[in-house]
Amino acid sequence: MKVLVVGAGGREHAMVWKLAQSPQVTAIFCAPGNGGIAKMATCVPVAADDLAGLLAFATATDIDLTLVGPEISLTLGIVDLFAEAGLRIFGPERKAAALEGSKVFMKDLLAKYEIPSAHYASFTDRDQAMAYVDKMGVPLVVKADGLAAGKGVVVCHHIAEAKAAVDLVMTERAFGDAGDEVIIEEFLPGEEASFIAFTDGKTILPLPTSQDHKAVFAGDTGPNTGGMGAYSPAPVVTPELHAQVMEKVMAPTVKALAAEGAPYKGMLYAGLMIRNGVAKVLEFNCRFGDPEAQPLLMRLKNDLVEVVEAVIDGNLASISLDIDPRPAVCVVMASGGYPGSYTKGYPISGLDRAASQKDVVVFHAGTTEKNGELINAGGRVLGVTAIADDLEKAIAKAYQTVEMIHWQDCYFRGDIGQKALRRQSS
């Protein structure tokens, strides 16, 4: 079986790594891929948003199965395009992918079907948005409607900060067309968790729980990023809360999308805020999380091809997930300055030594090869992921490996997983 993975990040490297373990897979291609993926798959210089180019490549190469990593491909309609051409592809169709592509669509859907989330209002007019800020007071959250690579959300604790965030989105157009509409919603205190599941539109098969670390600095301070690290499982999601999320969030959302004429197949990822044993939806994503995919795929023992094909064929009820009971931790190493401006092109040292560590995988995100050596080529560069008998050992193993790797101005958070350790000891 020839498999194509669309995307270029750490999530896609984890998908390629997992697919390479399948006895069904004879060749893996990745478009466009990165420096680490190139060691395991044939990288193809076609961008994730070049749907025509991806279709042409898949057709010419007789690709048997395509897995889509990034949200941009899904929201542009790659699944519809490939399916119309008779190609097997994993992910939601364009109409269903609006769940991530438009926060207004998502919030309106949740409100209509009474799925728990924050109170909100949406605006296309700047002055009306500003008046709403004055009316509501702070704290509140300002969000660009469209895709913004995980950075279009600003938590505001002062009125001036909230108004500046509205202008950032609507006037300065910091997120481009994603800022055509803005959402202003109540601030939900609590602890975040990621709840990610496979679904074929009928059966929902949840992966283990996980927790992302979105803020750039330790202690969850500083601006949001695409994610600075993750671990699985997340002890904040108790068995009781897990059942609640399945009953009150995941199942109703899948049913709601079907009722709206947008049946959903693929990965369904609920970003949750948990407080006092109750979960509310912060966001939905229509694909594997990044960096959550890295620890989750390290824990998944199933052949990924079998699970994905069951989703495509509507036979997910025939699958049960086999999960490694050991916890896994991913520490993201980023370019200094991220999520703001940063310098590319620094050579990365220590990768060979890091790769030799037992129960550790260094997933590449923003890397490329130049003159025979790997250099940083993005904001998030590597995801050092370790699995061990307990969470404390997994964290230690990940950080021991992180210390082996270096490039100029590299940066990482030093507190990935500490919330879980505190919860375990309390």
pLDDT 10s digits, 274-310: 999 999 999 999 999 999 999 999 999 999 999 999 9
Residues 184/131, Cβ–Cβ less than 8 Å: no
pLDDT exceeds cutoff 70 at 229: yes
CA distance 204 to 317: 8
| pLDDT per position as a tens digit, 63-92 | 999 999 999 999 999 999 999 999 999 999
The predicted pLDDT at position 118 comes to 96
What does the pLDDT look like over 7-23, one tens digit per residue?
A: 999 999 999 999 999 99
Longest dimension (CA), the chain: 60
Torsion angles phi and psi, residue 367, rounded to 5: -130, 155
Write the pLDDT tens digit of every residue in 319-373.
999 999 999 999 999 999 999 999 999 999 999 999 999 999 999 999 999 999 9
| Pair 297, 18: CB distance under 8 Å | yes
pLDDT on residue 179: 85
What are 19-54's pLDDT values in tens digits? Answer: 999 999 999 999 999 999 999 999 999 999 999 999
Domains and CATH numbers, the chain: 2-93 (3.40.50.20), 119-186 (3.30.1490.20), 191-318 (3.30.470.20), 328-425 (3.90.600.10)
| Nearby residues of 329 by Cβ (< 8 Å), 6 or more positions away | 229, 230, 231, 295, 385, 386, 387, 391, 394, 395, 397, 398, 416, 417
152 pLDDT tier (thresholds 50, 70, 90): confident
Q: Is the pLDDT of residue 178 over 90?
A: no
Angle at 340 between CA 336 and CA 345, to 5 degrees: 45
Residue whose C-alpha is closest to residue 419's, from 135, 144, 85, 192 = 192
Report whether pLDDT(169) > 80: yes
Q: What is the pTM of this model?
A: 0.94
The burial class, CB within 10 Å (0-12 / 13-18 / 19+), for 243 is exposed
- Report how far residue 70's alpha carbon sits from residue 391's, in angstroms, rounded to the nearest whole number: 29
CA–CA separation, 297 vs 352, rounded Å? 22
Q: What are the phi and psi torsion angles at 96 (to 5°)?
A: -75, -35
Instruction: Please tell me the predicted confidence (pLDDT) of residue 364.
Output: 98
Give the pLDDT score at 150. Answer: 65
Q: Calculate mean pLDDT across residues 243-257.
A: 98
- Residue 47 has a pLDDT of 98
The Cα 175–Cα 144 span in angstroms is 7
Place of tokens 């941009």: 72
212, 227 Cβ separation under 8 angstroms: yes
pLDDT digits over 381-412, tens only? 999 999 999 999 999 999 999 999 999 999 99
Q: How far is CA 311 from CA 67, 72, 80, 198, 299, in A?
A: 12, 21, 16, 7, 20
Q: In 3-state terms, the chain is what percent helix, strand and coil (to 5)?
A: 35, 30, 40
pLDDT at 60 > cutoff 70: yes
| pLDDT tens digits, 98-147 | 999 999 999 999 999 999 999 999 999 999 999 999 999 999 999 999 88
Residue 223 is predicted with a pLDDT of 87
- Strands across the sheet with 191-199, in order? 204-206, 191-199, 266-275, 278-285
Predicted pLDDT of residue 22: 98
Q: What is the mean pLDDT of residues 158-180?
A: 91
Instruction: Output the pLDDT for position 224.
Output: 84
- The mean pLDDT of the chain is 95
